[in-house]
Chain A
């Protein structure tokens, strides 16, 4: 057996937000405000929750999925400048196995009366042959091929 390959990728999402960088920042630093928008899974049972937002602080969450598997998120805040930027590293685990590790940079850029949010994630995807990988295996690959095919078809 060959060792599973580690794959790397970087992606950037930009979004215009309707208020100042200072206001936008609150929605990351205040757990009650963050709760309103962050990715959540209502069907997962929360087992553990911890939120310590400051440079050097950490955030972690553990859930049990309806299938009974344990899913975990653990982040370390590396750099926090209110109203300007947040840098954090996080890892995702599934069934006690680490799936990915990422470095995330969130930038708040003043844009008129609002804010340009720039979210950059640099990820190392671990253990490509693991449980998670099997779930998004070939079928997704074939789906993607079909999409690409449709995209190049003349309309």
Chain B
């Protein structure tokens, strides 16, 4: 378990480059090898490796070596989906409770004094 947050500036440095952002977009659709990542970006392999090392250092991706090729994937929890889910759900419920307050204003309490 991680106990500390990755420093934000490492993360921002990692994402400051359009080539690296394109790699992140690609990896968010699934793992890929260095070669698969270099090609669409029109990068030479050594240059792609350098970019990927920055992303790995920034805590966005992880890699593992299998045979002669290295495969990269998004680091689990790099952009936590649960945070997005909760934000969307909170926004939906806040909007629902706005409507609830309005509905309670529109429909007066039943006259059922105990």
Question: Which A positions have Cβ atoms within 8 angstroms of B?
Answer: 2, 5, 7-9, 11, 13, 15, 17-20, 22-24, 26-27, 33, 36-39, 100, 117, 119, 121, 123, 125, 128, 133-134, 136-142, 144-145, 148-149
Contact = CB atoms under 8 A, between A and B. Distances in A.
Interface residues of B, number: 41
A3 to B, nearest CB: 11
A136 B76 contact: no
B48 interface: no
Given A23-B109, A121-B89, A136 B81 contact: yes
A27 B103 contact: yes
B85 A100 contact: yes
A38 B96 contact: yes
Main secondary structure of the interface of A (DSSP, over half): mixed
Given A11-B86, A15-B101, A123-B86, A145 B15 contact: yes
Contacts of B104: 17-19, 23-24, 27
Interface of B: 8, 11-12, 15, 21, 24-25, 28-29, 74, 76-86, 88-90, 92-97, 99-107, 109-110
B86 A9 contact: yes
B76 A17 contact: no
B100 A140 contact: no
A121 to B, nearest CB: 7
10 contacts: A9-B85, A13-B93, A15-B101, A37-B96, A37-B100, A39-B93, A136-B88, A138-B79, A142-B79, A145-B15
A144 B84 contact: yes
Contacts of B81: 7, 125, 128, 133, 136-137
Contacts of B110: 23, 26
A36 B99 contact: yes
A141 B96 contact: no
B112 to A, nearest CB: 8
A138 B99 contact: no
B25 A18 contact: no
Contacts of A2: 76
Contact of A27 (B24, B86, B88, B100): B100
